[in-house]
């Protein structure tokens, strides 16, 4: 294995210019993969920020006792997907209404004595996809009369989420395919440049594995170095861009560049780089072997 990497390294240096060009193309393709990932991650982050504002309301039966309310709150907290729950008493509800209809406060006069509002709880979920299951779980709890949530908004958000995911996936796959082709082509050129050497190797009884291992490793190295360069560039650009955005558009939620995000970028690009390099060279080698 060491021999194969040493040979691969020699091979890369021997064809300096062509190696540099494939490295450059791999770098560009992987940068696009990484950029797609960052855009996708940020859209998801914004999406999450928006959907965290959405909640489910459950109306409780009238005249419920404080003890019963406590029981219901405890039960609600146990439902998977629930992030937060608050109790709104009929009196609080009325206050909310008064705030909303300040100009027509007189209409609400007299309601204090005979408050028609039911007590209710407001439940925040961890994500938009949890709303339906949380709502149906709420309906099962004794003392809950009715459950309402914004079905339409929730459905739309879910649909947008799906489209974003597909678009991101399509972007990553197409960029990955481009890298595979680029690396594959580069390896094919290397094999072609060294066809006499390969013929001689075969002649003296080198196995296919022995002959192809250095070329395969060359693909891995190209993918690896391309990934490192692309990660470095993306992290740098993202650092400046996120600072600039925070300064100019403070209300825009931007995923912060923390160690988690840095690790994610590195992991994703290095794994993609190695996979793409390995796959690309394997593809060319298969062609050459048959």
Partner 1 sequence: MIRLTNVEKTYNGHITALSGINLQVEKGEFVFLVGPSGAGKSTLIKLLYREEVPTKGQVYVLGEDLGRMRRSQIPFFRRRIGVVFQDFKLLEDRTVYENVAFALRVTNCPAREIQKRVMNALHIVNLRDRRDAYPQELSGGEQQRVAIARALVRKPEILLADEPTGNLDPSTSMEIFQLLERANLYGTTVVVATHARAFVDAMKKRVVELREGRIVRDVRRGSYSE
**Which parts of this chain interact with partner 1 (CB under 8 A)?**
14, 196-197, 199-208, 210
CA angle 155, 158, 164 (to 5 degrees): 145
Q: Shortest approach of partner 1 to residue 17 CB, angstroms? A: 17
Q: Is the dihedral of CA 165, 126, 99, 250 positive or negative?
A: negative
Report the residue number, 204 or 247, with the smaller CB distance to partner 1: 204
Report the residue number, 136 or 207, with the smaller CB distance to partner 1: 207
How many angstroms separate the CA atoms of 170 and 223, rounded?
20
- Going by their DSSP bridges, the two strands 144-148 and 55-60 should be labelled as antiparallel
Q: What are the CA-CA distances from residue 20 to residues 176, 221, 275 (Å)? A: 19, 12, 19
Instruction: Give the start-end residues of each E strand in the chain.
Output: 55-60, 82-88, 120-125, 144-148
Report the residue number, 84 or 208, with the smaller CB distance to partner 1: 208
Q: Shortest approach of partner 1 to residue 36 CB, angstroms? A: 41
Q: Which of 67, 12, 2 is nearest to 215 (CA)?
A: 12
Q: Shortest approach of partner 1 to residue 243 CB, angstroms? A: 50
Report the residue number, 215 or 238, with the smaller CB distance to partner 1: 215
- Mapping DSSP to helix (H, G, I), strand (E, B) and coil, where does residue 27 land? helix
Report the residue number, 3 or 95, with the smaller CB distance to partner 1: 3
Q: Shortest approach of partner 1 to residue 13 CB, angstroms? A: 11
How many angstroms separate the CA atoms of 123 and 146, rounded?
13
Q: Shortest approach of partner 1 to residue 131 CB, angstroms? A: 59
Q: Are 285 and 216 in contact (CB under 8 A)?
A: yes
Report the residue number, 169 or 200, with the smaller CB distance to partner 1: 200
- Phi, psi (deg, nearest 5) at residue 267: -60, -50
Q: What are the CA-CA distances from residue 167 to residues 39, 49, 127, 173, 181 (Å)? A: 11, 20, 20, 10, 21
Q: Shortest approach of partner 1 to residue 194 CB, angstroms? A: 10
Cβ-Cβ contacts under 8 Å for 284 (sequence gap 6 or more):
184, 185, 187, 188, 191, 215
Report the residue number, 156 or 202, with the smaller CB distance to partner 1: 202
Q: Shortest approach of partner 1 to residue 206 CB, angstroms? A: 4
């Amino acid at each position: 294995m060491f021999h194969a990497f040493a040979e691969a390294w020699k091979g890369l240096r021997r064809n300096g210019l062509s190696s540099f060009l494939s490295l450059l193309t791999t770098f560009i393709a992987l940068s696009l993969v990484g950029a797609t990932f960052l855009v996708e991650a940020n859209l998801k982050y914004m999406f999450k920020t928006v959907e965290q504002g959405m909640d489910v309301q459950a109306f409780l039966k009238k005249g419920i006792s404080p003890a019963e309310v406590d029981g219901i709150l405890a039960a609600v907290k146990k439902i998977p997907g629930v992030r937060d729950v608050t109790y709104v008493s009929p009196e609080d509800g009325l206050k909310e209404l008064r705030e909303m209809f300040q100009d027509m406060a007189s209409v609400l006069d007299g309601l204090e004595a005979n408050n028609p509002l039911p007590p209710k709880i407001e439940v925040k979920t961890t994500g938009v996809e949890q709303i339906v299951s949380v709502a149906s779980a709420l309906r099962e709890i004794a003392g809950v009369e009715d459950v309402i949530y914004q079905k339409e908004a929730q459905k739309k958000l879910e649909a947008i989420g799906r489209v974003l995911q597909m678009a991101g996936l399509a972007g990553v796959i197409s960029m990955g395919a481009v890298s595979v082709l680029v690396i594959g082509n580069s390896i094919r050129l290397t094999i072609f440049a060294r066809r006499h050497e390969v013929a001689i190797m075969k002649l003296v009884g080198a196995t296919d594995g022995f002959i192809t291992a250095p070329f395969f490793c060359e693909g891995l190295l190209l993918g690896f170095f391309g990934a490192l360069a692309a990660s470095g560039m993306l992290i740098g650009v993202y650092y400046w861009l996120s600072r600039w955005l925070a300064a100019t558009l403070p209300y825009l939620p931007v995923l912060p560049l923390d160690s988690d995000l840095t690790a994610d970028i590195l992991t994703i690009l290095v794994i993609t780089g190695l996979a793409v390099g390995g796959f690309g060279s394997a593809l060319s080698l298969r062609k050459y072997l048959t």
